[in-house]
Chain A
């Protein structure tokens, strides 16, 4: 329970939570990004394990996934890269159900443990199909973060909030990952609905693109996930320093909301 414990501790210190997303295997030495974003103020890091057909992802993450796959990244090479690192924050992988099923649920869960990963996020494994993976993950001590959407009914939302471990991933809008010009209207509602149902930290993600949007989002949630806005900077040629600078800016904007 290292992810949830860490996030709860940070929250109880009054700190808005920040979890950046990094595509695993994006370039040689990509794991430098993990250390850099943590040093810049991330509370945990999501590592994307690229899948050939990422239906929850928009163009930015699709491009990054293709780039990593073209370099030969596989679930096991990415976990191998991560193993033994002292990042200084909990790690979660985000990937699609097929890669987990292909490896086998038990084998995948123990591979995560061996690599020092604490949690998993599987956007195409909703509550109804969650059982077999949930059992394997629980047995291995892997926390599984479930997603809550603006369309989720109250009855489902209660079950999602109860079953989700690590945090509750509140999807801030109707749509796939990618930068947006402004924070969507449903984000406040879905964040507040989740917070009304659970004590587990609630993070808003999908479409949160700027420090200003992040600051606005944490009025309705315990924190934010930032993915495409970070990855786009890397795809545009920015290196680890550009990535760290961006996360530092977001951290500063979040901290100002708490002061």
Chain B
């Protein structure tokens, strides 16, 4: 094992990144398309964050929480067996090792501090896989805020463990039956709540989506992923940056936080969207590949739509990527060519889920498995043999175990090639 600085080291927050101009525009995307009722709250939040993010007190308190509560810095792990198998050198940024098990905790701790600064005592959130919901419920327990999490009924069923965790943490989970009963519909319902509750309530958006200032705030609060990873990679790689930096993209917060640390390097930036059952099937979540410009949930971005402009249902085996849109800054990065975006199918993600478990003893979240899958597929192709690649492992896969035990059983492939029981689920 190569010794790389990680846990136990100091948390170093990156310097503030560029603030979007013209009411939150990234290129022609972003903006603030919300009912008038919410505009004053968004203006207040924007001012509050701008002050806080340059304030030593806020940064010290945020850094302290990331250190002593969330368990940062997270390590970078070199994957020797996987590297040998793929012919590329693979490093993982281990967000799965944070408290609550995903990168979502970074963002919610920052937004919880902002909530307190604004004198609000109630927090609402939307959640897909439940990771952001659990992180928000956790921060609310820590700060003593009331917490309501909106979750699509389909997601609540496939992520039942996270629903239970949120309840244990004192949050109320409201399941949403409308539309596709997934993340898009949970977000609609959270916005409707906020229109009624805005004077006392902060809406803790979980990704780099939504009206300005959210895409900016969430990117900044997640940029600690990229800044840590950059210096850790340089330790491992003898001062070099990786050739490629890869992360999965639903709304895109772990990718944006990671990319923030590498934008001014020569590294290729690759975002991996959910191709679901295949881009041609129409059942996918690949907004950058197949979306068209539009406005949803407060921002101009790319969205999956029908020919009349109605938003289409997304599909992904992974609840966290099951969203018909993407953060506006990703669209700008795609347009400028600074980042490239590709997609992998449900099937490829499942294979990668197993691959990482078997080769490295790390069970990834299904979302993160999409990033692994792209590297596995493109090693020796789009990713030349011998190159070095950093993958952000945005979360751990415990939450997916029950769902995947069924999926593997359905395909008859078993969870592990060498196991007798073949389900990989050793729970009761």
Give me the interface of A with B, judged by CB distance under 8 Å: 51-56, 58, 62, 66, 69, 74-76, 96-99, 101-103, 123-129, 146-153, 156, 160, 171, 173-176
Asked if B184 lies at the interface with its beta carbon under 8 angstroms from chain A, I say: yes
Residue of B nearest to A54 (CB): B188
Query: In the bound complex, do residue B191 and residue A55 qualify as a contact, i.e. CB atoms below 8 Å apart?
Result: yes
Asked if B335 lies at the interface with its beta carbon under 8 angstroms from chain A, I say: no
Q: For A74, list chain B residues within 8 Å (CB).
A: 308
Q: For A175, list chain B residues within 8 Å (CB).
A: 195-196
What separation, in Å, do the CA atoms of A55 and B150 have in the docked complex? 14
Asked if B178 lies at the interface with its beta carbon under 8 angstroms from chain A, I say: yes
Known: A98-B294, A101-B295, A175-B196. Contact between A149 and B178, CB under 8 A?
no
What separation, in Å, do the CA atoms of A156 and B184 have in the docked complex? 30
Q: For B195, list chain A residues within 8 Å (CB).
A: 55-56, 174-176
Known: A151-B40, A174-B197. Contact between A98 and B34, CB under 8 A?
no
Query: In the bound complex, do residue B199 and residue A174 qualify as a contact, i.e. CB atoms below 8 Å apart?
Result: yes
B46 to chain A, nearest CB (A): 12
Q: Which 4 pairs from chain A and chain B are nearest by CB?
A: A102-B309, A175-B196, A149-B37, A52-B310
Q: For A147, list chain B residues within 8 Å (CB).
A: 35-36
**Residue of A52, A98, A101 touching B179 (CB-CB under 8 A):** A52
Q: For B297, list chain A residues within 8 Å (CB).
A: 53, 55
Known: A102-B294, A174-B198. Contact between A150 and B33, CB under 8 A?
no
**Residue of B35, B41, B305, B310 touching A126 (CB-CB under 8 A):** B35
B99 to chain A, nearest CB (A): 32
Query: In the bound complex, do residue A152 and residue B36 qualify as a contact, i.e. CB atoms below 8 Å apart?
Result: yes
Q: For A96, list chain B residues within 8 Å (CB).
A: 295
Known contacts A53-B184, A174-B198; 19 further A-B pairs (Cβ under 8 A): A53-B185, A56-B35, A96-B295, A98-B309, A99-B310, A101-B294, A101-B300, A123-B36, A126-B34, A127-B39, A149-B36, A149-B39, A151-B39, A152-B37, A156-B39, A171-B36, A173-B196, A174-B195, A174-B197
Q: For B292, list chain A residues within 8 Å (CB).
A: 102
Query: In the bound complex, do residue B34 and residue A174 qualify as a contact, i.e. CB atoms below 8 Å apart?
Result: no
Query: In the bound complex, do residue B188 and residue A53 qualify as a contact, i.e. CB atoms below 8 Å apart?
Result: yes
Q: For B296, list chain A residues within 8 Å (CB).
A: 53, 98
B210 to chain A, nearest CB (A): 11
**Residue of B36, B39, B308 touching A75 (CB-CB under 8 A):** B308
Known: A75-B308, A101-B295, A102-B309. Contact between A129 and B23, CB under 8 A?
yes
What separation, in Å, do the CA atoms of A207 and B378 have in the docked complex? 55
Query: In the bound complex, do residue B309 and residue A127 qualify as a contact, i.e. CB atoms below 8 Å apart?
Result: no
Query: In the bound complex, do residue B305 and residue A102 qualify as a contact, i.e. CB atoms below 8 Å apart?
Result: yes
When each residue 5-30 of chain B gets 1 if its CB lies under 8 Å from chain A and 0 otherwise, what string results?
Answer: 00000000000000000010000000
A133 to chain B, nearest CB (A): 11
Query: In the bound complex, do residue B34 and residue A102 qualify as a contact, i.e. CB atoms below 8 Å apart?
Result: no
Query: In the bound complex, do residue A160 and residue B36 qualify as a contact, i.e. CB atoms below 8 Å apart?
Result: yes
When each residue 294-317 of chain B gets 1 if its CB lies under 8 Å from chain A and 0 otherwise, what string results?
Answer: 111110100101001111000000
What separation, in Å, do the CA atoms of A55 and B300 have in the docked complex? 15
What separation, in Å, do the CA atoms of A159 and B310 have in the docked complex? 31
Query: In the bound complex, do residue B196 and residue A126 qualify as a contact, i.e. CB atoms below 8 Å apart?
Result: no
B237 to chain A, nearest CB (A): 45
What separation, in Å, do the CA atoms of A125 and B294 have in the docked complex? 12
Q: For B396, list chain A residues within 8 Å (CB).
A: none
Known: A62-B178, A151-B199, A175-B195. Contact between A128 and B23, CB under 8 A?
yes
Tell me the B149-201 residues at the A interface (CB within 8 Å): 178-179, 184-185, 188, 191-192, 195-199
Q: For A126, list chain B residues within 8 Å (CB).
A: 32-36, 39
Query: In the bound complex, do residue A102 and residue B39 qualify as a contact, i.e. CB atoms below 8 Å apart?
Result: no
Residue of B nearest to A73 (CB): B308
Asked if B424 lies at the interface with its beta carbon under 8 angstroms from chain A, I say: no
Q: For B33, list chain A residues within 8 Å (CB).
A: 97, 124-126, 129
Known: A58-B192, A152-B40. Contact between A124 and B34, CB under 8 A?
yes
Query: In the bound complex, do residue A55 and residue B188 qualify as a contact, i.e. CB atoms below 8 Å apart?
Result: yes
What separation, in Å, do the CA atoms of A75 and B311 have in the docked complex? 14
Q: For A56, list chain B residues within 8 Å (CB).
A: 35, 192, 195
When each residue 310-328 of chain B gets 1 if its CB lies under 8 Å from chain A and 0 otherwise, what string results?
Answer: 1100000000000000000
**Residue of A69, A148, A173 touching B36 (CB-CB under 8 A):** A148
Residue of A nearest to B293 (CB): A101
Known: A55-B188, A123-B35. Contact between A103 and B309, CB under 8 A?
yes
Asked if B128 lies at the interface with its beta carbon under 8 angstroms from chain A, I say: no
What separation, in Å, do the CA atoms of A126 and B212 have in the docked complex? 13
The listed residue with most A CB atoms (<10 A of its CB), out of B305, B310, B311, is: B310
Tell me the B96-131 residues at the A interface (CB within 8 Å): none
Known: A129-B33, A149-B35. Contact between A98 and B308, CB under 8 A?
no
Known: A52-B179, A101-B293, A124-B295. Contact between A174 and B36, CB under 8 A?
no
The listed residue with most A CB atoms (<10 A of its CB), out of B23, B195, B293, is: B195
Known: A102-B305, A128-B32. Contact between A174 and B37, CB under 8 A?
yes
Query: In the bound complex, do residue A69 and residue B310 qualify as a contact, i.e. CB atoms below 8 Å apart?
Result: yes
Asked if B31 lies at the interface with its beta carbon under 8 angstroms from chain A, I say: yes
Q: For B23, list chain A residues within 8 Å (CB).
A: 128-129
Q: For A129, list chain B residues within 8 Å (CB).
A: 23, 31-33
A136 to chain B, nearest CB (A): 15
The listed residue with most A CB atoms (<10 A of its CB), out of B178, B305, B308, is: B308
Q: List 25 A-B contacts (CB under 8 A).
A: A53-B179, A53-B311, A75-B309, A96-B295, A98-B309, A101-B293, A101-B294, A102-B294, A102-B309, A123-B35, A124-B295, A126-B32, A126-B35, A127-B36, A127-B39, A129-B33, A147-B35, A149-B35, A151-B36, A151-B41, A152-B36, A156-B39, A171-B36, A171-B37, A174-B195
The listed residue with most B CB atoms (<10 A of its CB), out of A52, A56, A98, is: A52
Q: For B178, list chain A residues within 8 Å (CB).
A: 62, 66
Q: For A102, list chain B residues within 8 Å (CB).
A: 292, 294, 305, 308-309
